[in-house]
Chains A and B, each alone.
Chain A
Amino acid sequence: MKGPQDSATVARVQVSFRLNGVSFRKRVPVDWTLLRYLREGLGYYGTKCGCEIGDCGACTVLYDGVALNACLILAPQVDGVDIWTIEGVAPQGERGLHPVQQAFVERGAVHCGFCTPGFVMSTIALFLETRNPSRQEIKEALAGNLCRCTGYIQILDAVKTAASRLRDRDLKKFVSRRR
């Protein structure tokens, strides 16, 4: 794990947050995005760095229960926030994947895999809003995630498959206590 370059000129702010169900208390650099802090500060490389301007969705995380682009959030803004990344999606301490991940694998929705963590997080955010989304609702929820392997049809199918299998306990941990 690489630490941030510590110099006298970089201001830091003390924050407390939850990441994948674990509480953290850290001093974060004010000039880092959440995306950079997750990857380079904490070593959570599952959240991908694509466009860094909020277009591609590769850095999508669950932020107090809704999908946001981690590249558009400053690290010091996470104080008090409940964050979930792809690393926390699969059931802890159990073998196997989350039903959303499993459906992506089975329906051929993973090609190169770079966009997949973002798609999975957007899909979970959608399920937190509606358990049985229409194809149009799925398209709207995933419009902010780009796949350059042209796998959209498979991705839509995967979300439909996941919806049909989802049980309450698959979403329980992602529900933010703040909303």
Chain B
Amino acid sequence: MIDVTTYIRPGSLEEALDVLASGEFTPLAGGTDLIPHARGRGPRKMLDLSGLSLDRVTRTASSIEVGACATHSELCRDAVVTKALPLLSKAAALVGTKQVRNRGTLGGNVVNASPCADTVPALLNHDAVAVLVSKDARRKVPVEAFITGPYATCIGPNELLTSIVCEPLEKPTFVSFLKLGRRQAVNISRMSLAVCLMMDGKGSIKGARVSAGAVFPVARRMREVERLLAGESPSKRLFAEAGALAAQLMVKESGVRWSTPYKRPVLAALLERALAEAASGNFGEQ
């Protein structure tokens, strides 16, 4: 038995925001996280978002707006996303199972705010901004600030996440997304890394973006590592240094835990590998 007392499926955003204004309803997107967690946690009123057409991907001159209800499967096959946001596409492909990817949404992954959410590190590398709409207001919050803690965000009870706006990176940028887990499929991330290397014409790294999931209490950019990489030429030694720095940051921020003796060398090696993969251009150029 799911603890649902009321179910509403509005056909327009206006109607949905009117219902949400009461502050009593839980927005239901794919439900792949929400429905299993709606057992035995007290009564809920569900607001089904599937009638709002929030699953579209729109390209503007400078950015790409992904509807919050786009499913992971749609992110894997959408021509705009796979071309301009390959990290997001790859991250989405590694989520859960086929059945979960067919149903689970980008907005749900972000609002659920699990520290190991796969799409979040990819979004951070694209300076993604969450668009939050309520009956009387509309605001934009960077995804990095939107997620305030493990399973916590700054969304209000009357607000709806309608889309996420991503900035494509300047060319040429080499990217890589690596996920570490116990097995290949149906896998909760132990660690995930999204890497972008923006190259200058002479083979040096002009700038870098490196985001980590399941490493810190909240997924975040590792700007310390990005600064280390900027202006340097790609080399095994540089990437090893970057890995070591990332491991240091993790221990400093997340503290020494039972998993630290494992995670410290593994994070260092994984980042080194992700950087090497990106630099090789094998993963894909954006």
Q: Which of B1-36 contact A (CB under 8 A)?
A: 1-7, 9, 28, 30-32, 35-36
User: Could you say which of A31, A73, A142 contacts B4, with CB atoms under 8 Å apart?
Assistant: A31
Q: Is B118 interfacial (CB 8 A cutoff)?
A: no
Contact partners of B62 in chain A: CB under 8 A: none
Closest to A141 in B: B98
- B83-104, CB under 8 A of A: which get 1 and which 0? 0000000000000111110110
Q: Is B185 interfacial (CB 8 A cutoff)?
A: yes
Take A13-B7, A67-B98 as given contacts and tell me if A72 and B103 are in contact as well, using a CB distance cutoff of 8 Å. Answer: yes
Closest to A139 in B: B185
Question: How far does the alpha carbon of A124 sit from the alpha carbon of B1 in the complex, in Å?
Answer: 29
Asked whether A144 lies within 8 Å of B6 as measured between CB atoms, the reply is no
The 7 closest A-B pairs by CB, nearest first: A144-B97, A143-B185, A30-B7, A53-B36, A31-B4, A144-B99, A76-B7
Q: Is B186 interfacial (CB 8 A cutoff)?
A: yes
Q: Separation in Å of the A129 CB from the closest CB of chain B? A: 10
Q: Which of A25-63 contact B (CB under 8 A)?
A: 30-33, 52-55, 57, 60
Contact partners of B7 in chain A: CB under 8 A: 11, 13, 30, 74, 76
Closest to A31 in B: B4
Q: Which of A127-143 contact B (CB under 8 A)?
A: 139-143
Contact partners of B99 in chain A: CB under 8 A: 54, 57, 60, 67-69, 72, 122, 144
Contact partners of B36 in chain A: CB under 8 A: 52-54, 71-72
Asked whether A30 lies within 8 Å of B98 as measured between CB atoms, the reply is no
Q: Separation in Å of the A3 CB from the closest CB of chain B? A: 15
Q: Is B109 interfacial (CB 8 A cutoff)?
A: no
- B28-66, CB under 8 A of A: which get 1 and which 0? 101110011000000000101010000000000000000
Q: Separation in Å of the B116 CB from the closest CB of chain A? A: 16
Contact partners of A157 in chain B: CB under 8 A: none
Q: Is A156 interfacial (CB 8 A cutoff)?
A: no
Question: How far does the alpha carbon of A66 sit from the alpha carbon of B50 in the complex, in Å?
Answer: 16
User: Could you say which of B3, B6, B32, B184 contacts A54, with CB atoms under 8 Å apart?
Assistant: B32
Asked whether A68 lies within 8 Å of B102 as measured between CB atoms, the reply is yes
Q: Is B73 interfacial (CB 8 A cutoff)?
A: yes
Question: How far does the alpha carbon of A77 sit from the alpha carbon of B29 in the complex, in Å?
Answer: 11
Asked whether B98 lies within 8 Å of A69 as measured between CB atoms, the reply is no
User: Could you say which of B3, B32, B102, B184 contacts A67, with CB atoms under 8 Å apart?
Assistant: B102
Question: How far does the alpha carbon of A111 sit from the alpha carbon of B197 in the complex, in Å?
Answer: 50
Q: For the complex, count residues of B whose C-beta is within 8 A of A.
A: 28
Contact partners of B6 in chain A: CB under 8 A: 11, 30
A-binding residues in B (CB < 8 A): 1-7, 9, 28, 30-32, 35-36, 46, 48, 50, 73, 96-100, 102-103, 184-186
- A139-171, CB under 8 A of B: which get 1 and which 0? 111111000000000000000000000000000
Residue among B5, B7, B31 with max Cβ neighbours from chain A (10 Å): B7
User: Could you say which of B5, B98, B185 contacts A122, with CB atoms under 8 Å apart?
Assistant: B98
Asked whether B32 lies within 8 Å of A140 as measured between CB atoms, the reply is no
Contact partners of A77 in chain B: CB under 8 A: 9, 31, 48, 50
Asked whether B50 lies within 8 Å of A30 as measured between CB atoms, the reply is no
Closest to B101 in A: A144
Q: Separation in Å of the B93 CB from the closest CB of chain A? A: 9
Asked whether B97 lies within 8 Å of A57 as measured between CB atoms, the reply is yes
Contact partners of A73 in chain B: CB under 8 A: 31, 35, 103
Given contacts A72-B100, A77-B31, 16 further A-B contacts (CB under 8 A): A30-B6, A31-B2, A32-B2, A53-B36, A54-B97, A71-B35, A72-B99, A73-B35, A74-B2, A74-B31, A77-B48, A77-B50, A122-B99, A143-B184, A143-B185, A144-B186
User: Could you say which of B5, B9, B100 contacts A69, with CB atoms under 8 Å apart?
Assistant: B100
Closest to A81 in B: B50
Closest to B30 in A: A72
Contact partners of A69 in chain B: CB under 8 A: 32, 99-100, 103
Q: Separation in Å of the B274 CB from the closest CB of chain A? A: 22
